[in-house]
Amino acid sequence: MSRIDGRTADQLRPVTIERGWSKHAEGSVLISFGDTKVLCTASVTDTVPRWRRGSGEGWVTGEYAMLPRATNTRGDRESVRGKIGGRTHEISRLIGRSLRAVTDLKALGENTVVLDCDVLQADGGTRTAAVTGAYVALADAIAWAQDKKLVKSKSQPLTGTVAAVSVGIVAGVPMLDLAYEEDVRAETDMNVVCTGDGRFVEVQGTAEGEPFAREELNALLDLAVAGCAQLDGAQRLALGTT
Amino acid sequence: MSRIDGRTADQLRPVTIERGWSKHAEGSVLISFGDTKVLCTASVTDTVPRWRRGSGEGWVTGEYAMLPRATNTRGDRESVRGKIGGRTHEISRLIGRSLRAVTDLKALGENTVVLDCDVLQADGGTRTAAVTGAYVALADAIAWAQDKKLVKSKSQPLTGTVAAVSVGIVAGVPMLDLAYEEDVRAETDMNVVCTGDGRFVEVQGTAEGEPFAREELNALLDLAVAGCAQLDGAQRLALGTT
Amino acid sequence: MSRIDGRTADQLRPVTIERGWSKHAEGSVLISFGDTKVLCTASVTDTVPRWRRGSGEGWVTGEYAMLPRATNTRGDRESVRGKIGGRTHEISRLIGRSLRAVTDLKALGENTVVLDCDVLQADGGTRTAAVTGAYVALADAIAWAQDKKLVKSKSQPLTGTVAAVSVGIVAGVPMLDLAYEEDVRAETDMNVVCTGDGRFVEVQGTAEGEPFAREELNALLDLAVAGCAQLDGAQRLALGTT
Amino acid sequence: MSRIDGRTADQLRPVTIERGWSKHAEGSVLISFGDTKVLCTASVTDTVPRWRRGSGEGWVTGEYAMLPRATNTRGDRESVRGKIGGRTHEISRLIGRSLRAVTDLKALGENTVVLDCDVLQADGGTRTAAVTGAYVALADAIAWAQDKKLVKSKSQPLTGTVAAVSVGIVAGVPMLDLAYEEDVRAETDMNVVCTGDGRFVEVQGTAEGEPFAREELNALLDLAVAGCAQLDGAQRLALGTT
Amino acid sequence: MSRIDGRTADQLRPVTIERGWSKHAEGSVLISFGDTKVLCTASVTDTVPRWRRGSGEGWVTGEYAMLPRATNTRGDRESVRGKIGGRTHEISRLIGRSLRAVTDLKALGENTVVLDCDVLQADGGTRTAAVTGAYVALADAIAWAQDKKLVKSKSQPLTGTVAAVSVGIVAGVPMLDLAYEEDVRAETDMNVVCTGDGRFVEVQGTAEGEPFAREELNALLDLAVAGCAQLDGAQRLALGTT
Amino acid sequence: MSRIDGRTADQLRPVTIERGWSKHAEGSVLISFGDTKVLCTASVTDTVPRWRRGSGEGWVTGEYAMLPRATNTRGDRESVRGKIGGRTHEISRLIGRSLRAVTDLKALGENTVVLDCDVLQADGGTRTAAVTGAYVALADAIAWAQDKKLVKSKSQPLTGTVAAVSVGIVAGVPMLDLAYEEDVRAETDMNVVCTGDGRFVEVQGTAEGEPFAREELNALLDLAVAGCAQLDGAQRLALGTT
């Protein structure tokens, strides 16, 4: 059975990672998963939030947003509505947690890196593209901070790599990296964040219709682990670290 | 190895479910998981949100909140801060999704049930207690609505039962139903929502420290499925449906 | 003439005061005036608001709120609406003023006590139950702070006791401690806060329909003073200070 | 004993009421109680809030605010802070209730009158000046609405007159119409709203320091009733209704 | 061709400037341009915003607002809506910039002057009246601050004078100082802020209908420069500096 | 005298206009003025705001925003702060007014076009790039709406073309299209919006330091008119209309 765009069930959409997109940011990446395009910028400051001061440890956090017309119909700006929606909050927190999972905050020292992930165009998988791209921007920003002697520790702040992918069951078939049209029709939807060595940072599975069985969960996890491994390769290629 | 409160790794804390706690609500439950106490009320109205009008289908949604001194140190009220935090949003959405997973919205007809889950005292596992208690309040509210002829369908709006439990890896050991002290020290933290027939509605696992391996994930899921089965029993006992 | 629940005009509803309801708070009380139930917790911190620092004096303040389904029909959460309503503000301020009237802030030292009064179930008189219960929680919290040596003064921070009750004119008859059904029909509604020695801290009377005459005001004050004296007895009994 | 401005204890400050201050409003008054100056405008619309539609009854409401430099030191604008403070809320509600107490909403028909009371300069007693001035603006606005045939009822919407004054105990002496310097030093502070026939619409007394005794309350009420009677005279003079 | 109020095209409305309107503010002016009345108060504090501390320089800023019934139909309060509209923001910024253009912030020293411009009655030209009146209030406030030795510099903080006027093209004719009725019908609307020596601080021209040609722009600028010169005279007269 | 990037005083930075950037929007343009990059999307809906319904006329409006790291140092998101700043408001309004100046709203019919202008990278002139790019997006969106028969009028909704450019006086020299470094040092800063036939839609000049003289204003206007004519050419080239 072939998918709406001709892919096989275990196939990623074309992935591109363009480093150095922004002239201002300490790290920046324009990542695309098919028609989903996310601009990820990493901003370094040599301070930490008040509650961490004096701890000797740094902080890494994420903020996710969508441009109003990133989607098929225009959405109101959250700045105009005056508050941030639940979905935005959830994804921002996911990005921050995912990156902290591979960061040694002690080695980072009292520096903060903010990863802004702004969706310029959406076609499903925006949060997984955001995590995957933000990792590359973070790597560049940390290298910059080491070069500027803001990070002084001898041990590497980055303790691993991290990437994310969506999986789901569409018309009974487990599939990798859902496009928007597939996502809408999925009975089960799962986002998985993995490290480069194949372990899990986040597993978030939701039954949109029917509850899902243990075997289905296992099949989805298999797909996700394989997908993350491919994304890990794309990240290494972009960073030139293979 | 024994736990801080003497439980075994696969043991729930004492669970109590007190129905009919409120004189006003159509369904209400005071549920406790050990020292965690959540008041769950179900409010029925014979309308639906604007975007569902005329669809013939109903809606079920959740709102989660904590009293300011439910926790060890007092937290500011979200009403005073003027906005709802990311964690509150996430859990409110989780409660709504979990209950909708076992509700036939067509059979519910154009009625709305709001599940308010207010944490009166917190000691870990507030969101899982909320889902578990809210299910019982929902069952009472739907029975009330059937009795009042607001729900007219012959088919049952509730298509199954649902309960939730937390699991985690503490000092390398997978454990069921973490108390706050354990939760703080957990390397991996997972919330699992299951139906009474042992399938999954939500699986949300997060590495707080080290990423977790596939075998660890499997061990946690085994614990969670067994825990949910016990909670399903407690729910049936409370509802007198066994 | 007998009242809807069979009471005489000068009779309080059954009052219960349950101390130590919360395991976390420094003082906590679940108080009921008939079906009205308010959870009052006292939180002590060894700091004061910025504008009092260095003054050597402490601060006592109150925050009042209702659970959304404390009432007969569900109300929207103030946290969701993003702002606190006028009624909530008024009652929070009333609670704080009432308790400060019997507190020697100098003897309290630079400590703050926040009294959170959350209405779990409402049936009229929620603000007066809140003041009455909050006093008991405050007494427990101050005793705790003295025990922990946070309060070091030799003179007692509590200079008296305080309780509150509602009175009103229903169908032309002055009545004590109105239940919701009575409150709705009252022509005049008054909340009175008294000290244990029979003096006034607050008198707030409002004509809901016809303006009220001086004699009616006097009759209401007589009822209120007698009612507060009974509540003072209930507080002493709960605290074991008779 | 003479007061800071040479008044006797039972003497009002000079009161001026200037009608027709605004060219746009249906009723408008610049009222002064000594150095306290409040601009009261009444705005009529031939609709009612959604919850009153179809009832055949009208609505009267108040909004109170202070210019930022009405006071001795500049206060931040509530519009800039993004929310209205508790004190503003309380006074706005007081103004609305006071005027509704002398308005037959049925005779008003489905019209709304909003009374905006903006304090241009503050020197104590701003809320009582606001109520007293707003009554005159309301009378003018209702006459306008009758003239324009918006109000069609044969019975008068205004069923009486209403005025307000502050009283308090300063250095042990009950005094009428406190100026700011007196208000700050008052042990007890009371605002009283009376109808022209000497009955009460609102009585709000607060012990700022020591609780107050029944005799003190009586002495304050005596002063307030006499003060309101004088204000009633000033209103009639301004309206030419004597 | 004569205007709605009989003026010639190049004629200002009657201008009045009443100094010392407020007993509290360090400088205060009630200015009128015809029926437009704006209360301008200047508040001096001996601190500066955080981002200027230690710079040795002061700050001058403006805040503009309208009373809700300053206009023909009542507008909602921005404090009630919880946010400030774009127009209010724009005008507040314009006032601040205009006054800073004639202030030597170094000579002012680390003091702040806030100019509050509250429109009591509106009939077109509120922002230009605000700038013109605020200058006079600022001059008084700086003189006060020099007298109190808050400003210690020997050089004058005020380096010039500033006034503002509106011009526009109505029915094809360039006109000075538009009243509301003219403003509504204007094809082009321009606000011009000039110094006393005839140079420009701000030029803000907007085509409301047809775009405007260079010659029209020139004609409008000629009118505005002449109008500002007259306002400069009125300011000097009010300040007694001629 | 040569500029920081080697341009002459009357030279624009390189301008690129990339149409069809977004797969979802009815019109979309990525425009760059040197290193300033703005994504402009036009969203068409076949409704109008409430206050225009039934008028037979359409509406065109703009919303401007910056990504947090579009600038040299990261700015907080307005959505996170919960309100929109004054500068954002001003520019959004400018974009809307500029485009409406060349739109026949009657010919547009009851359709709305929203122009979202999001600055991806900022280096001065973001608002002028936004206006210039938004015009092209609007032209594409109107063509789309005509093609879809949403716009039914025979007369063209677009009555002309519009472009914008900044000019300023830097070190005494009038210059065209200021880059950020120049803008910061400019004594006078002006934004000019022109139609393709050389008339003005907006002229907004501000003295940042010294007030500016009439001759300087004239020199700046000359530069701006010439710059807009070049931008008009770039727009026509992009649209293929000449």
Flag if A203 and B201 touch (Cβ within 8 Å): no
Per-state percent for chain C, helix, strand, coil, to nearest 5 = 35, 30, 35
**Is there a contact between E128 and E201 (Cβ–Cβ < 8 Å)?**
no
Decide if B221 and A221 are in contact by the 8 Å CB cutoff: no
User: Which residues of B define the annotated binding site for phosphate?
Assistant: 87, 125-127
Tracing tokens 């505005």 back to the chain, one arrives at E224
A112 annotated as ligand-binding: no
Minimal-distance CA residue of chain D relative to E119: D67
Name residues 58-87 of chain C within 8 A of D (Cβ). 83-86
The tens digit of pLDDT for each residue in A112-141 reads: 999 999 999 999 999 999 999 999 999 999
Q: How crowded is residue B152: how many other Cβ atoms within 10 Å of its Cβ? A: 10
Determine the length of chain A. 242
- In angstroms, what CA-CA distances link F21 with C219, F24, F25, F66? 78, 9, 9, 18
C contacts of B35 (beta carbons < 8 Å): 23
* Per-residue pLDDT tens digits for B126-158: 999 999 999 999 999 999 999 999 999 999 999
How would residue C235 be classed by pLDDT, with cut points 50, 70 and 90? very high
- Candidates F73, F83, F116; nearest CB to A67: F116
Nearest by CB: E82 against D63, D70, D82: D82
Query: Where would I find the H helices in A148-200?
Result: 180-185
C92/A57 Cα distance (integer angstroms): 40
Q: List, as ranges, residues 199-238 from D with C-beta within 8 Å of E.
A: none
Contact B153, B109 (CB under 8 A): yes
DSSP state string for chain E: ---TTS--TT-PPPEEEEE---SSSSEEEEEEETTEEEEEEEEEES---GGGTTSS--EEEEEEEE-TTSSSSPPPPHHHHTS--HHHHHHHHHHHHHHHTTB-HHHH-S-EEEEEEEEEE-SS-HHHHHHHHHHHHHHHHHHHHHHTTS---SS-SB-S-EEEEEEEEETTEEEES--HHHHHHEEEEEEEEEETTS-EEEEEEEESSS-B-HHHHHHHHHHHHHHHHHHHHHHHHHHT--
Residue of chain C with shortest Cα separation from D222: C214
Task: In chain C, count H helices and then E strands.
Answer: 6, 9
The total of other beta-carbon atoms located within 10 Å of residue B215's CB is: 9
Q: What is the pLDDT of residue D23?
A: 94
Neighbours of chain B (3+ CB pairs under 8 A): A, C
When pLDDT is averaged across residues B206-210 and rounded to a whole number, the result is 88
> From B105, which residue of chain A is nearest by alpha-carbon distance?
A209
Quote the minimal CA–CA distance from F13 to chain E in Å.
25
Contact across the interface for C201 and D207, Cβ inside 8 Å? yes
Q: Which of C99, C66, C104 is nearest to C85 (CA)?
A: C66
Residues of A in contact with B204 (CB under 8 A): 203-205
Closest Cβ opposite residue F22 in set A41, A69, A77: A69
Of C200, C210, C225, the CB nearest to D212: C200
Residue E87 annotated as binding?
yes
What SS3 state is found at D4?
A: coil
Residues near F26 by beta carbon (within 8 Å), at least 6 away in sequence: F42, F43, F44, F113, F140, F141, F144, F145
Taking 90 as the threshold, does the pLDDT of residue E104 lie above it? Answer: yes
Residue B28 has pLDDT above 90, yes or no: yes
What is the per-residue pLDDT for F1? 59
Distance CA E140, CA E44 (A): 11
As a whole number, mean pLDDT of residues E29-55 equals 96
Neighbouring chains to E with at least 3 Cβ pairs closer than 8 Å:
D, F
Length of chain C as a residue count: 242
Question: What burial class does residue E187 get, using C-beta atoms within 10 Å of its C-beta: 0-12 exposed, 13-18 middle, 19+ buried?
Answer: middle
Q: How many residues does chain D have?
A: 242
CB pairs B-C closer than 8 Å = 92
- Cross-chain Cβ contact B211/A199 below 8 Å: yes
The alpha-carbon gap from A23 to the nearest alpha carbon of chain B, in Å, equals 31
**Yes or no, beta carbons of E211 and F203 under 8 Å apart:** no
Closest CA to E118 of E43, E198, E62, E47: E62
Q: Give the span between the Cα atoms of B198 and B194, in whole angstroms.
A: 6
Cβ of residue D89 closer than 8 Å to a chain C Cβ? yes
Phi, psi of F98 (to 5 degrees): -60, -40
Tell me the C-alpha to C-alpha distance, in Å, between residue F224 and each of F163, F166, F220, F233: 10, 7, 6, 14
The answer to whether A114 and A33 have CB atoms below 8 angstroms apart is no
What does the block give as tokens for B19? Answer: 């129905």
* pLDDT tens over chain D, length 242 residues: 579 899 999 999 999 999 999 999 999 999 999 999 999 999 999 999 999 999 999 999 999 999 999 999 999 999 988 888 889 999 999 999 999 999 999 999 999 999 999 999 999 999 999 999 999 999 999 999 999 999 999 999 999 999 999 999 999 999 999 999 999 999 999 999 999 999 999 999 999 888 999 999 999 999 999 999 999 999 999 999 87
Helix axes A214-239, B214-239, angle to 10 degrees: 140
Task: Give the closest-approach CA distance of E205 to chain F in angstroms.
Answer: 5
- Name residues whose C-beta falls within 8 Å of residue C85's C-beta, 6 or more positions apart in sequence: C78, D89
Find all residues with CB under 8 Å of C39, minimum gap 6, and list them: B67, B120, C21, C22, C28, C29, C30, C116, C117, C118, C120
Partner-chain contact A67 F121, CB within 8 Å: no
Q: Which two three-digit tokens encode residue F144?
A: 């789309």
| pLDDT score of B86 | 85
CB-CB neighbours of B106 under 10 Å: 13
* Interchain CB distance below 8 Å, E79 and D83: yes
Which residue of D195, D201, D217 is in closest CB contact with C203?
D217
Does the pLDDT at position A242 exceed 80? Answer: no
The span from the CA of C5 to the CA of A141, in Å, is: 71
Please tell me the distance from the alpha carbon of residue E130 to that of residue E210, in angstroms, as a whole number: 28
Which tokens is B161 given? 């039962």
Summarize the confidence of residues C212-222 as an average pLDDT. 97
The string of pLDDT tens digits covering residues C35-53 is 999 999 999 999 999 999 9
Phi-psi region of C20 (alpha: psi -120 to 50; beta: other; left: phi over 0): left
Positive or negative, the Cα torsion across A75, A81, A86, A90? Answer: positive
pLDDT tens, N- to C-terminus, chain F (242 residues):
579 899 999 999 999 999 999 999 999 999 999 999 999 999 999 999 999 999 999 999 999 999 999 999 999 999 988 888 889 999 999 999 999 999 999 999 999 999 999 999 999 999 999 999 999 999 999 999 999 999 999 999 999 999 999 999 999 999 999 999 999 999 999 999 999 999 999 999 999 888 999 999 999 999 999 999 999 999 999 999 87
A214 is in an annotated binding site: no
Q: What's A111's DSSP letter?
A: -
Alpha carbons E139 and E145: distance in angstroms, whole number? 10
- What are the backbone dihedrals phi and psi of residue A77, each rounded to the nearest 5 degrees, phi first? -70, 140
> Searching chain C, which residue's CA lies closest to the CA of residue B78?
C79
Which residues in chain E have Cβ-Cβ distances shorter than 8 Å to F197?
211
Q: Which chains touch D (3 or more CB pairs under 8 A)?
A: C, E
Q: What is the pLDDT of residue F82?
A: 84
3-state secondary structure of C235: helix
The rounded distance, in Å, linking the Cα atoms of F182 and F168 is: 9
Distance between CA atoms of residues D199 and D162, nearest Å: 10
Least CA distance to A188: which residue of chain B? Answer: B201
From residue B90, alpha-carbon distances to A86, A187, B95 in Å are: 6, 20, 9
Burial of C14 (0-12, 13-18, 19+ CB in 10 A): exposed
CA distance D213 to D196: 27
Q: Is the pLDDT of residue E1 over 70?
A: no
CB contacts, 8 Å: C221 with chain D? 214, 217
A97: helix, strand or coil? helix
Q: Which residues pair with F193 in a beta bridge?
A: F164, F202
C-alpha to C-alpha distance for E76 and E83, rounded to whole angstroms:
11
Judge: B118–C65 Cβ closer than 8 Å, yes or no.
no
Does C206 sit within 8 Å of D201, measured CB to CB?
Answer: yes
Q: Helix, strand, or coil here: F122?
A: coil
Within chain A, strands assigned E span 15-19, 27-33, 36-45, 59-66, 112-121, 162-170, 173-176, 188-195, 200-207
Q: How far apart are the CA of B65 and the nearest CA of chain A, in angstroms?
A: 14
Closest to D127 measured CA to CA, from D206, D52, D198, D56: D206
CB contact under 8 A, B69 and C23: no
Taking an 8 Å cut-off on Cβ atoms, the answer to whether B24 and C70 are in contact is yes
Min distance C195 CA to chain D CA atoms (Å): 7
Question: Closest-CA residue in chain D for C205?
Answer: D203
- Half-sphere exposure (CA, 13 Å, Cβ side) for D120? 27
